[in-house]
Homo-oligomer: A and B are copies of this chain.
Amino acid sequence: MSAVVNVPHPCDGCEVRHRAACAVLNDDEIGRLADIARIIPFHSGDNLFFEGDSADDMFVIVKGAVKLYKLLPDGRRQITGFLFAGDFLGLAFNDTYQYSTEALSSGELCRLKRSKVEALIDDLPKLGHRLLNLATHEIVAAQDQMLLLGRKSAQEKLASFLLWLSERAAQRGDSYNPVHLPMGRADMADYLGLTVETVSRTMTRLRKSALVKLAEGNMVHLVDIEALHEIADGDGAD
């Protein structure tokens, strides 16, 4: 029930209010979400949860960046995604998270009890559609990543990755050229199915070909975006 006076809630002035999963809800409806939302700060290296944990919560990244990964018993790691401000996290099958998460930077997330979100969907079909839409988008992105992992060369992988990072930065209004690399070479390698050394060598190669320029603070200038696109899509003349 709404009170006569408006009480501030966690969604007031939220930086991702109009981009995240909640963007489809109007001011009245968002109150329902706000009632079950809680803002939690996190720091670089924090684990939000591990593969196998009971999937009690869903999250929206409000600030900062996070990586998702899976491990093989011998320690080999595959990063399955990088999430940024506005991204949704926590779809789970079998009531158990199927991957682990670690923060790339400090930031904030919005935590929501899964059971309450699912109940809310029945009252707010718009929210259900929105989540299905986000899930669909994630599937499409995953298929692109399969194409990258299964069929692209190291150079094609790097070019694709840098362009993707830049596009994502543009979407959330951050600088897209130069674009910030919020992760280290090891994370890039484990995302692209390469080793640290190959990532390093390939970055050097892109740099020497004058396609990119590395700058202070992990910034990367995409010098020849057209050429990078050609390489990324496999049209690159080697």
Chain A interface residues (CB < 8 Å from chain B): 68, 70, 72-74, 76-78, 80, 91-93, 98-99, 118, 121-122, 125, 128-129, 131-133, 135-140, 142-147, 149-152, 190, 192-193, 233-235
Contact = CB atoms under 8 A, between A and B. Distances in A.
A70 B140 contact: no
Contact of A92 (B121, B136, B145): B136
Contacts of A150: 78, 149, 190, 192-193
- 4 smallest CB-CB distances across A and B, nearest first, come from A150-B193, A142-B142, A149-B149, A135-B135
Nearest to A135: B135
Given A93-B136, A132-B132, A146-B146, 10 more contacts: A72-B151, A76-B151, A76-B234, A92-B136, A128-B128, A131-B132, A135-B139, A138-B139, A139-B142, A149-B193
Contact of A139 (B77, B91, B133): B91
Contact of A135 (B136, B192, B193): B136
Contacts of A140: 92-93, 98
